[in-house]
Amino acid sequence: MNTFECVVSKLEVREFMRKEVESEIKRRILESARQTGSGLNLQHWRFVLVEDKKNLSQLALDSTSGGWIAGADFAIIILTNPTLRFHLIDAGRVAQSMQLTAWNEGVVSGLFTGIKEGNLRNDFRIPNDLTPSIILGFGYPLKPLTGKKKNRLPLSQLVYREQYGTN
Ligand SMILES: Cc1cc2nc3c(=O)[nH]c(=O)nc-3n(C[C@H](O)[C@H](O)[C@H](O)COP(=O)(O)O)c2cc1C
């Protein structure tokens, strides 16, 4: 699978098998985050790896749109520095790096951003100077992915030539 194929075939998955992801793959996923570029190369992101089933269930309780994380094999909480105007760009980039690296290994993932921040901060001891921006859940897919198609706008509705509005 080349990079384009990896991007095009990657889907968000929220149902996972009870099969552990090998620690080498987890390490590689985290390494891909580390290698990602950040604004001013500040590398302000920090990652909390959550593997304990009890803590995965707690993550689900601390979310408003990610209850499915309870069934993931493991999760990664992406923390970024909210004083940087580009911190969510940096969060998105490491999220995509990790999701694509996982998919390249046959590991699927989903993300959520609906976070009960106060609860999460308490439960996972997040310091005040970092914001939990994105939470990713990973695992092997429960069902074959063949049935799911992406719903995307065509390029003709998305791309203009030279100036906005000109096709
Ligand atoms: C910025 C952002 C926020 C998202 N928030 C959530 C979320 O809170 N909960 C969730 O289950 N999925 C969330 N998603 C996943 C989207 O629903 C998903 O990317 C979209 O439906 C396309 O899925 P597909 O690639 O499988 O077609 C989020 C995705 C992005 C990029």
Phi, psi of 100 (to 5 degrees): -70, -40
What Cα–Cα distance (Å) separates residue 137 from each residue in 33, 83, 141, 146? 15, 26, 11, 20
- Residue 112 CA, ligand 1 centroid: distance in Å: 7
Tell the burial category of 30 from Cβ atoms under 10 Å away from its Cβ (0-12, 13-18, 19+). Answer: middle
**If you count them, how many residues does the chain have?**
167
Q: Is the pLDDT of residue 87 over 80?
A: yes
Residue nearest to atom 9 of ligand 1 (CA): 112
Q: Can you give the pLDDT at residue 61?
A: 98
Buried b (16+ CB within 10 A) or exposed e, 69-103: bbbbbbbbbbbbbeeeeebbebbebbbbbbbbbbb
What is the residue-averaged pLDDT of the chain?
Answer: 97
- Residue 111 CA, ligand 1 centroid: distance in Å: 6
pLDDT tens digits, one per residue of 93-106? 999 999 999 999 99
Q: Can you give the pLDDT at residue 146?
A: 80
Handedness of CA 116, 119, 122, 128 (dihedral sign): positive
Measured from the Cα of 148, ligand 1's closest atom is 26
Nearest to 118 by CA among 81, 63, 50, 76: 63
Residues 46/83, Cβ–Cβ less than 8 Å:
no
Please tell me the distance from the alpha carbon of residue 62 to that of residue 104, in angstroms, as a whole number: 29
- Residue 77 CA, ligand 1 centroid: distance in Å: 15
Q: Where are the domains of the chain?
A: 3-158
User: Which residues sit with their C-beta closer than 6 Å to ligand 1?
Assistant: 11-12, 14, 65-66, 110-114, 150
CATH superfamily, with its number, for domain 3-158? NADH Oxidase (3.40.109.10)
125: left (phi over 0), alpha (psi -120 to 50) or beta: left
pLDDT tens digits, one per residue of 27-64? 999 999 999 999 999 999 999 999 999 999 999 999 99
